Amino acid sequence: MRIKRVKRTEENVALSREGEILRGLAKTKGKLRSDFLYLEDVALRRFQRIFKQSKGDEIPYNRPANVLKRSVYILGRQLIDLDKQHILAEYLQEVSKTYNEPPASIATPNVEQNPFHWFYLLLLGENRLSKGKKRLVTRDQISKSSRQLVYAEKNDVPPEYLIGFILQIGGDPILEKYSKRSWDGWKTAKRADKTKPQPETPNTHSPETPS
């Protein structure tokens, strides 16, 4: 099926130069596939610029890896609401032929269970396949971050609170609760004692260490 480009309107997703999703995904299959094409065209360049220009001193909400994570989360939630996750997988299967590479590894989760992982693959485009070049986000980081996003979605966390939610609970504790399918386990999770001095963490672009 040929992918047709459609004019960017209020019906189509838009990605700002700051990496923020401005509109919702289209609802029909043809326009949705066009949205995926648009994101594949523009997302990697914009996030490469955002990562490159970062000085590593942003507040957690604005750190490049968290901006990317939030955009992936918004898109994944929209696609779940549309119940059209399979169209994203089909699209990536088709465009992967351009790179002569599979769209994802055998370890990639089912798109119905974790569309966030697939949106990482879409937004990172050919960078996810680059060999000998620095990836914006590693495969391991994609795997961990996307599972954190599944957990947040199960708890209906609004996008604007996503980064704070992950920071409050902790990336690794979320992964542990995800593996146990303890979707509401965070409610009784031990919180960090903010009265004690917290150890400094090195500046990093990793989505798993967004402190």
What is the tens place of the pLDDT at every residue in 173-207? 999 999 988 887 555 555 444 444 444 433 434 44
Give tens-digit pLDDT for 156-180.
999 999 999 999 999 999 999 999 8
Per-residue confidence (pLDDT) for residue 99, from 0 to 100: 62
Range from 36-40, 84-88, 97-101 carrying the lowest mean pLDDT: 97-101
pLDDT (average), residues 126-140: 73
Query: 41 pLDDT exceeds 50?
Result: yes
Helices in the chain by DSSP H: which ranges?
29-53, 64-82, 85-99, 115-124, 139-154, 162-169, 171-179
Write down the domain spans for the chain. 29-188
